[in-house]
Structure 1
Amino acid sequence: MNRYCFCLQVRPDRLDEYVERHRNVWPDMQAALRESGWHNYSLFLRDDGLLIGYVESHDLDAAQRAMAATEVNARWQAQMAEFFAGTDGRPPDESFLLLPEIFHLTDS
């Protein structure tokens, strides 16, 4: 399983609403993420709007393509787009910047 980390910028004036939306992620959205190959997916949000995401997947490109093919993802991305800065009109899930892993502490 590969580990991926990414960042996006949430509009600082929309932080509270963004957090609230993620307290109740639609069950069909959660199911689609699982079915398309997203595992151990977490989001972390700094108080200035820096969003850091972490996800494990065998192939993130394939997982993203599988999500892009779902109706629920199209609805979710359309609703979430207004929360982000710097996406140049692209959906948030097509706009994040992947960060290279430079260190990983293993269990052994």
Structure 2
Amino acid sequence: MPRVCFQLQVKRDRIAEYRTRHAAVWPDMLRALHDTGWHNYSLFLREDGLLIGYFETPDSVAAAQAGMAATDVNARWQAEMGDFFEELDGQAPDEGFLVLEEVFHLEDQLIGTTTDDDVQK
């Protein structure tokens, strides 16, 4: 299952409201995310507004984005949240984020190092 990590920058003067909005995301938005393949989804916010997101999806980031783009709730959510971010150049937040390259995953590397001694432990 592909793992996706992304970065956005929340405007400093909107950080408190961003936190408040994400403390109670609309139930229909939560269902839409889940139903379109955004699993194990988390957001991490630094004090200066750096936002890191992570999710796993059964297909690809493009398929997960396309699934959400087809929902009515996503259009409403993106319209409300777009002003919270810097440097989107007219894109919706869920399309304008910077995807980060995964360079290490513990479980992937452990699979290649398992020995008979490890199995006996």
Residue deviations 1:62-84 (CA, integer Å, cap 9, x gap): 11101001000000000000100
Q: How does 1:13-92 map to 2 (within 5 A)?
A: 13-58=13-58, 59-92=60-93
Question: Normalising by structure 2, what TM-score?
Answer: 0.86
Q: Distance in 2 between matches of 1:88 and 1:3?
A: 25
SS for the counterpart of 2:32 is helix
Question: Normalising by structure 1, what TM-score?
Answer: 0.96
Corresponding pairs, count: 108
Q: What does residue 97 of structure 2 align with?
A: 96
Unmatched tracts of structure 1, length 5 or more: none
More strand by share: 1
Q: Tell me which structure has the larger Cα radius of gyration.
A: 2
Segments ≥4 residues shifted beyond 3 Å: none
Note the C-alpha offset of 1:89.
1.5
More helix by share: 2
* Structure ranking higher on relative contact order (CA contacts 8 Å, 6+ apart): 1
Note the C-alpha offset of 1:11.
0.1
| Residue type at the aligned position of 1:70 | T
| Residue type at the aligned position of 2:13 | D
Q: What does residue 115 of structure 2 align with?
A: none
Q: What percent of counterpart residues are identical?
A: 62
What root-mean-square deviation, in Å, do the aligned CA atoms of Structure 1 and Structure 2 show? 1.0
Note the C-alpha offset of 1:16.
0.4
Q: Distance in 2 between matches of 1:2 and 1:71?
A: 25
